[in-house]
Amino acid sequence: MNRIIFSLVVMLSFTVGFAQKNNKVSGIVFADTNQNAVLDKDEVVLSNVLVSNGKDVVETNSKGKYSITKIEGNTVFVIKPTGYISKKNKQNSVQFYVPFDEVKGIKNYNFPLIANAENKDVKVVLLGDTQVDVMDDIHHVGKLVTEELMDQKIDFIVPLGDLSFDNLTIFKPLSETLGLIGAPIFYTIGNHDLNFKETAFEDRDKSFESIFGPSYYAFEYGNQFFLVLNNIYPVNEKGYVGRLDETQKQFITNLIAAKKGAFNSIHLFMHIPLEEMEDQDWIIKSLAPFEEVLISAGHTHTQYHKYFERETGRKAIHELVAGAVCGSWWQGPHDQNQIPFALMYDGTPKGYWTVGINPDRYTYDYKVSGAPNTKQMDITVPNTNEWDTTLNALNDNYIYANVFAADDATKVYVNFDNGSWSEMVKYEGISPNIQKQYYLQSQGRYDSMKISNSPRPETVSTHLWRIAKPDNLPSGAHSVRIKAVGKEINLEAHGNAVLWVK
């Protein structure tokens, strides 16, 4: 009897040991000098590089070796170290992970890294929700984003989720279009990028991962550290909340433990803004080791800055909600290129952000697609028309300035006819341009166009200022000059308008 028990124990130990060994992937991280993806005799192995399975984080040893357990539904990926980058595919997506269709059966996988020149000053382009559904939308993204950025020097691009509008087959055309820009692209997942037909929790991001890679990960660039999160937590068949799953939280905990002494700052990219997350307190607490924390998010189809206070001695977390490339879901009348005007719900025209990162400060620049860089605000003055009088009904006695990149601390000033500057008042209201567009729609102005109608205006803009029209201006034309100054975000914007007085 004892012999039988002993034999069973030996067999069980062997089975468990074999299963554990079979459930691991091992390999070497190395500098791929000739870029053939093969570890050649004269190529250098890289030690102290982090590798993860989406939960655990291990470090390569002095021989560049790693070994890590596989997790069902996850792949294994390398955390890009400063000065190196993984190969890119034809769409310029960075291939820093074991392909998902290979990871289950693979035992050995090497990560070849290519030397990558990286300056201390980093230029990142943020793309809020592209929300493509049909090929028309792909053409819009090509015109509004790709064509404008093709010849610019960019370190990398980060789309901030909701790449699609529940059409997961359109991921590939979108990646091809954005890939033409030429810069490396690190993708973020959004709620409209989930596959709700999958019943298993870990399979909801399957379609996204098959094209773009892991739905959460981290990388270094220059002297900076970046963390990309999947903060879409599926609920029931079609719902979701802003929350991190427990496996991802463990990944973050392990990652920060490994990197907290190496970097003073961290920049997070995610889809749902922090203030809408159920576990925002956990995130804020987890980021305590970093002196400076910056967050970039999308989701709301509006744009604004928000600050989260932290413990004494730490700067407030600065969050930029970066609007949407699609504006308001590609809604509203079309221009001559068949591109919808689709103003965001706060009146911001469609566009994208460039974040400049250097050791001393961050800069935030918003670019309206199809407009000069100087287009940083919309100014509305009362105009009384004689021929097309439709919009005369919306006139009031105020001059409005919608400053697209402003935060709450921004100061906005106006002068008339080069006179003295007066400070405008922050106004909690709906963008005049949104009201104009909806009013024209309600009057049947766009009935002959094949469009997606704009919704009733309800969103209060967070970056709108106004001032009453002076009552001492003589009849005739008057110049209106407006300037906006945001010290915290290094903003200085200017705009001009013409005001007629009867």
SS3 assignment, position 349: coil
Which pLDDT tens digit goes with each residue over 220-264?
999 899 999 999 999 887 889 999 999 999 999 999 999 988 999
d(CA 84, CA 114) in angstroms, rounded, equals: 5
d(CA 441, CA 497) in angstroms, rounded, equals: 25
SS3 assignment, position 303: strand
Residue 398: is its pLDDT beyond 90? yes
Which pLDDT tens digit goes with each residue over 147-168?
999 999 999 999 999 999 999 9
Name the least confident of 1-15, 204-218, 300-314, 331-345.
1-15
The answer on 387 and 362 residing in a single domain is no
Are 459 and 345 in contact by the 8 Å Cβ rule? The answer is: yes
* pLDDT interval class at 17 (50, 70, 90): very low
Name the least confident of 355-369, 372-386, 473-487.
355-369
Name the least confident of 10-14, 20-24, 285-289.
10-14
DSSP 145-161: IIHHHTTS--SEEEEBS
Residue 47 lies in a domain: yes
Which pLDDT tens digit goes with each residue over 93-125?
999 999 998 999 999 999 999 999 998 899 999
Last residue of a domain, one of 304, 339, 368: 368
* pLDDT interval class at 13 (50, 70, 90): very low
Residue 178: is its pLDDT beyond 60? yes
Residue 30 lies in a domain: yes
Residue 2: is its pLDDT beyond 90? no
User: What is the pLDDT at residue 476?
Assistant: 97
User: What is the pLDDT at residue 146?
Assistant: 98
Which pLDDT tens digit goes with each residue over 189-218?
999 999 887 767 777 888 999 999 999 999
SS3 assignment, position 454: coil
Residue 8 lies in a domain: no
* pLDDT interval class at 312 (50, 70, 90): confident
Residue 151 lies in a domain: yes
Residue 3: is its pLDDT beyond 60? no
DSSP 61-116: -TTSEEEEE--TT---EE-BPTTEE--B-TT-BB--B--HHHHTT-SB--EEEEE-
User: What is the pLDDT at residue 309?
Assistant: 94
The answer on 450 and 361 residing in a single domain is no
pLDDT mean over 381-407 = 95
Residue 205 lies in a domain: yes
Residue 327 lies in a domain: yes
Is the pLDDT higher at 388 or at 236?
388
Residue 21: is its pLDDT beyond 70? no
User: What is the pLDDT at residue 14?
Assistant: 42
The answer on 213 and 135 residing in a single domain is yes
Last residue of a domain, one of 368, 395, 423: 368
Q: Are strands 464-468 and 425-426 parallel, antiparallel or unpaired?
A: antiparallel
Which pLDDT tens digit goes with each residue over 339-378?
999 999 999 999 999 999 987 788 999 999 999 999 999 9
CATH number for the domain spanning 397: value is: 2.60.40
The pTM (predicted TM-score) of the whole model is 0.93
Tokens of 117: 């020149």
Residue 494: is its pLDDT beyond 60? yes
User: What is the pLDDT at residue 18?
Assistant: 41
Total number of domains in the chain: 3
User: What is the pLDDT at residue 198?
Assistant: 76
3-state secondary structure 365-407: EEEECCCCCCCCEEEECCCCCCCCCHHHHHCCCEEEEEECCCC
The answer on 58 and 178 residing in a single domain is no
User: What is the pLDDT at residue 202?
Assistant: 73
Last residue of a domain, one of 115, 136, 169: 115
The answer on 290 and 436 residing in a single domain is no
The answer on 261 and 209 residing in a single domain is yes
Residue 12 lies in a domain: no
Residue 35: is its pLDDT beyond 50? yes
The answer on 386 and 406 residing in a single domain is yes
User: What is the pLDDT at residue 474?
Assistant: 96
Residue 21 lies in a domain: yes
Which pLDDT tens digit goes with each residue over 269-287?
999 999 999 999 999 999 9
SS3 assignment, position 307: strand
Residue 478: is its pLDDT beyond 50? yes
Residue 431: is its pLDDT beyond 60? yes
What percentage of the chain exceeds 90 in pLDDT?
87
CATH number for the domain spanning 31: value is: 2.60.40.1120
Which pLDDT tens digit goes with each residue over 437-452?
999 999 999 999 899 9
| Cα-based torsion angle of the residue sequence 390, 392, 394, 396 in order, rounded to the nearest 10 degrees | 180
Residue 22: is its pLDDT beyond 70? no
The domain of 110 spans 17-115
Tokens of 58: 């291990």
The answer on 104 and 133 residing in a single domain is no
